[in-house]
Chain A
């Protein structure tokens, strides 16, 4: 079971998740980045940078 690094809540990683995707923690709402899939690991997503966008 993958845990949220912010609140230690249990995370369900979607089956179609891809590395680099952002998923919210259902418990604390923290934005988490999927760092790897096998095994599934997450980290706190980097903060939005000044030059991010479209």
Chain B
């Protein structure tokens, strides 16, 4: 079984995963996606299993789609990456599986988007369909703000930013939850607290342990299954009336602030899953 890790920029997470693979003396190679070329007519690739950890959604998606068409086992699967990397596809998958998620609208022009926003009711969050780390996510509290953001995106944004994805704002209690799902298990979860409504730890949110059982675990597992399963980080928000809503699912999860916080050896659990999946596919 020839294993490769697809990578680009090496974050703390990739470094921990590399160290875990090396600690176990697992034979593997790192593939830098910047150096990849594919001859689509040749269908040759020197590895049987690829573990995706590239920071680029586009490169990951196209690499995995190519490799899977050639029979290479990819972890996570290309379809899972495609779903998680696109907020519209994620929302559709969650709705199909009746996983609770904020009311969401889609439109393609500023006028249509404004109508949808006013139907949802302010405040509303406008997000790019592809994007991470809270980038370009805008909370609009009234019509003036909505018009300004929509016009900016329509005028200055790429074609993708003119796909208007809008969600009702969830009034969280100063925190949200990230649950780490590996296969069929929610291995741990954290609260991310922030005075700002964007709670990503990449934007300064502070992590503390969250019990991974009960409603949190159950909802996170349902969300992970809805998008196809694998190694996933599910972001959830608590509403004022005690509901849990799934905001998004991440396919190349970051976990550096969660290992000590939860006491769970997340890189080890991920490598367990990768090696088990790789062996089963051999």
Contacts and interface: CB of A to CB of B under 8 A. Distances in A.
B43 interface: no
B57 interface: yes
Interface string A8-29: 0000000010111110000000
B250 A20 contact: no
A31 to B, nearest CB: 10
Interface residues of B, number: 27
What size tier do the contact residues of chain A reach? 10 to 19
Q: Is the interface of B mostly helix, strand, loop or mixed?
A: loop
B37 interface: no
Interface in B79-96: 85
Contact of B55 (A16, A18, A52): A52
Interface in A29-52: 33, 45-46, 49-52
Contacts of B155: none
Contacts of A52: 9, 55-57, 132-133
Contacts of B18: 18
Given A54-B132, A54-B254, A19 B57 contact: no
A49 B34 CA distance: 14
B133 A20 contact: no
A19 B10 contact: yes
B130 A51 contact: yes
Contacts of B135: 50, 53
Given A19-B10, A20-B10, A45-B9, A54 B130 contact: no
Contact of B10 (A21, A53, A54): A21
B158 A50 contact: yes
Given A45-B9, A54-B251, A54-B254, A21 B15 contact: yes
Nearest to B54: A52
A46 B32 CA distance: 14
Contacts of A51: 56-58, 85, 130-131
A18 B57 contact: no
A53 B133 CA distance: 6
Nearest to A20: B10
Interface of B: 7-11, 14-15, 18, 32, 55-58, 85, 128, 130-133, 135, 158, 233, 250-254
Interface of A: 16, 18-22, 33, 45-46, 49-54
